[in-house]
């Protein structure tokens, strides 16, 4: 274990399987199917982690709290609180008295242990199917720095979520967004990044100039956004590791905005406005070459690549009002896919490739919705005075978006793609334009 971490010094966290798996003897493993229907949240227990040394003692409860917050935050789980527990977990390797957990109606039990030496932290966990009285999968151990203790909790949460639902998690991920302050007619907007649960906020710009609509690169190493630093909207690329900024895709007499990364991170697609007309362009970030993708006397903006990189969905008002289109990633004929009532904007292709999330405005209300990539099976997930700009969780199960109450400040909300579990993401002060990054390695 230690040797592996030394070999991979650049990885903040390493993930190693340390326990031999029990034979997969369970006839019906604990499994929560995420379906469209209303489900009963699965009752879980996450006792305080066991401290395996004195350094680990201060994280025992905090780690358990992160796991509980993540899992119950999905709406798929509910916590059986520790006051109700009969059994106590005092040793990570001791046997589990399943009857005691069954007695308080727990279905999944998560146990953990933590040790800290210097700034090195080790976190272990196991998941038990209380009903069948068996361990679910193998125990896992994470090693990293104590400064990253919340990430350890997110890693545990992702593994638990994944084992129980059979889908990838999304907890160890970050969200880039715009932090707002000041009066509404002279807003200060700062680029910022936070963990998906709103913690660990870092500011990435000082707020001297407007910034809007950031996006994270597919590997999470860069952010691209629109900045007014030059006095006019321009695409800016920010390297998150060294904080170097660079304006890209500049063309004389033109405004450039709405940039998005291609799935391989090597190119951008974006809007260029000139002479009253906005078209989509694509730029190869390796050589700066630009290619015009649309050529229509109308607005084409808010592009989004399909995860396989073959198509781009975008919004255009070429029909008279904003609607959603899909075209090949190198341009060519665009097919309109939105035909419902109202205006459709900001299409975003899901990471699974199966859905497109969008903003819809109709009859004075705004909605976040999803539809299949051919435009069928439209479903509205939200309704309010102003909802806009969905962004997908890395697993394609949840979207975040900006909600602005009438006369109020904007906040970031999340909702799952069944339309359930609408929640506000806690931020300090007004916040907008969330863009979800990838699951971290």
Partner 1 sequence: MTLTTKALLLLGALALAACNNPRAGGTFGGGGADGFGGDNGFGGGISTGQLGDPNDPSSIAHFNQRIGDRVFFTVDSSSLTPEGRETLNGQARWLNSNTQYAIVIEGHADERGTREYNVALGERRANAVMQYLVSQGVSAGRMRTVSYGKERPVEACAAQRCWDINRRSVTVISGGLTG
Residue indicated by tokens 């203790």? 149
64 binds partner 1 (CB under 8 A): no
Q: Which of 26, 209, 296, 421 touches partner 1 (CB under 8 A)?
A: 209
SS (H, E, C) 245-294: EEEECCCCCCEEEEEEECCCCCEEEEEEEECCEEEEEEEECCCCCEEECC
Residue by residue, DSSP assigns 161-197 as HHHHHSS---SSEEEEEEEEES-GGG-EEEEEEEETT
Cα separation, 75 vs 81, in Å, equals: 16
Q: Which of 123, 160, 213, 435 touches partner 1 (CB under 8 A)?
A: 213
Q: Which is nearer to partner 1, 88 or 208 (CB)?
A: 208
Cα separation, 169 vs 165, in Å, equals: 9
Q: Which of 157, 258, 290, 294 touches partner 1 (CB under 8 A)?
A: 258
Cα separation, 80 vs 189, in Å, equals: 41
Cα separation, 398 vs 36, in Å, equals: 13
Among 17-25, 47-55, 226-234, 376-384, the segment contacting partner 1 (CB under 8 A): 226-234
278 binds partner 1 (CB under 8 A): yes
For the packed helices 60-73 and 149-165, what is the interaxial angle rounded to 10 degrees?
40
229 binds partner 1 (CB under 8 A): yes
383 binds partner 1 (CB under 8 A): no
Q: Which of 9, 23, 118, 275 touches partner 1 (CB under 8 A)?
A: 275
Other beta carbons less than 10 A from residue 440's beta carbon: 20
Binders of partner 1 among residues 146 to 205 (CB under 8 A) are 183-187, 189
The count of residues interacting with partner 1 (CB under 8 A) is 48
Nearest approach, Cβ of residue 202 and partner 1 (Å): 23
Q: Which is nearer to partner 1, 121 or 238 (CB)?
A: 238
String of contacts with partner 1 for each residue 333-362, x by CB under 8 A: ----------x-xx------------x-x-
Q: Which of 34, 255, 380, 383 touches partner 1 (CB under 8 A)?
A: 255
Burial class (CB in 10 A: 0-12, 13-18, 19+), 103: middle
Q: Which of 5, 141, 321, 362 touches partner 1 (CB under 8 A)?
A: 321
Nearest approach, Cβ of residue 234 and partner 1 (Å): 10
String of contacts with partner 1 for each residue 294-313, x by CB under 8 A: -----x-xx-----------
Burial class (CB in 10 A: 0-12, 13-18, 19+), 407: exposed
Starting at the earlier edge strand, list the strands of the sheet with 410-416. 387-392, 398-404, 410-416, 423-424
Q: Which is nearer to partner 1, 97 or 277 (CB)?
A: 277
Q: Which two tokens stand for residue 358?
A: 């969008």
Nearest approach, Cβ of residue 343 and partner 1 (Å): 8
6 binds partner 1 (CB under 8 A): no
433 binds partner 1 (CB under 8 A): yes
> CA-CA-CA-CA torsion for 327, 330, 331, 337, nearest 10 degrees?
10
Q: Which of 384, 377, 381 is nearest to 399 (CA)?
A: 381
Among 58-66, 95-103, 238-246, 405-413, the segment contacting partner 1 (CB under 8 A): 405-413
37 binds partner 1 (CB under 8 A): no
Q: Which of 137, 144, 169, 389 touches partner 1 (CB under 8 A)?
A: 389
232 binds partner 1 (CB under 8 A): yes
What own/partner pairs with CB < 8 Å and gap ≥ 24 does 144-147 have?
144/12, 144/13, 144/14, 144/120, 145/12, 145/119, 145/120, 145/121, 146/55, 146/59, 146/116, 146/119, 146/120, 146/121, 147/119
Nearest approach, Cβ of residue 388 and partner 1 (Å): 5
- Which residues of this chain interact with partner 1, rule CB under 8 A? 183-187, 189, 208-210, 212-213, 226, 228-233, 255, 257-258, 271, 273, 275-278, 299, 301-302, 315, 317, 321-322, 343, 345-346, 359, 361, 385-386, 388-389, 404, 406-408, 433
């Amino acid at each position: 274990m230690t040797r592996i971490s030394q070999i991979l010094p650049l990885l903040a966290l390493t993930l190693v399987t340390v326990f031999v798996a029990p034979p997969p003897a369970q006839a019906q493993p604990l499994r929560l199917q995420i379906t469209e229907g209303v489900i009963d949240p699965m009752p879980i227990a996450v006792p305080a982690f066991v401290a395996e040394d004195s350094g680990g003692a201060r994280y025992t409860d905090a780690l358990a709290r992160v796991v509980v917050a993540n899992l119950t935050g999905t709406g798929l789980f509910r916590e059986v609180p520790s006051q109700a527990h009969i059994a106590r977990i005092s040793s990570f390797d001791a046997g589990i008295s399943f009857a005691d957990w069954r007695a308080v109606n727990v279905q999944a039990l998560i146990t953990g242990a933590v040790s800290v030496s210097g700034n090195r932290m080790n976190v272990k966990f196991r998941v038990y199917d209380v009903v069948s009285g068996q361990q679910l999968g193998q125990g896992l151990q994470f090693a990293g720095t104590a400064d990253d203790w919340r990430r350890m909790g997110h890693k545990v949460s992702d593994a638990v979520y994944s084992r129980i639902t059979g889908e990838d998690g999304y907890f160890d991920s970050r969200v880039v967004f715009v932090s707002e302050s000041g009066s509404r007619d002279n807003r200060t907007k700062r680029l910022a990044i936070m963990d998906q649960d709103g913690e660990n906020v870092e500011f990435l710009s000082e707020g001297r100039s407007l910034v809007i609509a950031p996006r994270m690169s597919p590997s999470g190493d860069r952010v691209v956004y629109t900045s007014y630093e030059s006095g006019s909207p321009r695409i800016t690329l920010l390297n998150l590791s060294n904080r170097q900024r660079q304006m890209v895709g500049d063309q004389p007499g033109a405004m450039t905005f709405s940039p998005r990364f291609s799935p391989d991170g090597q190119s951008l697609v974006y809007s260029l406005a000139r002479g009253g007309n906005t078209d989509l362009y694509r730029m190869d970030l390796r050589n700066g070459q630009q290619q015009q993708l649309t050529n229509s006397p109308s607005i084409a903006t808010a592009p989004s690549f399909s995860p396989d990189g073959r198509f781009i969905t975008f919004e255009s008002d070429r029909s008279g009002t904003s609607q959603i289109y899909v075209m090949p990633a190198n341009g060519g004929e665009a097919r309109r896919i939105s035909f419902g009532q109202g205006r459709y904007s900001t299409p975003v292709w899901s990471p699974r490739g199966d859905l497109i999330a969008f903003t819809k405005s109709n009859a004075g209300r705004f909605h976040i919705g999803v539809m299949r990539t051919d435009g069928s099976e439209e479903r509205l997930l939200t309704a309010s005075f102003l909802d806009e700009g969905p962004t997908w969780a890395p697993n394609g199960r949840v979207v975040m978006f900006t909600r602005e109450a009438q006369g109020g400040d904007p906040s970031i909300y999340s909702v799952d793609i069944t339309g359930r579990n609408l929640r506000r993401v806690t931020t300090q002060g007004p916040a907008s334009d969330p863009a979800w990054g990838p699951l971290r390695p």
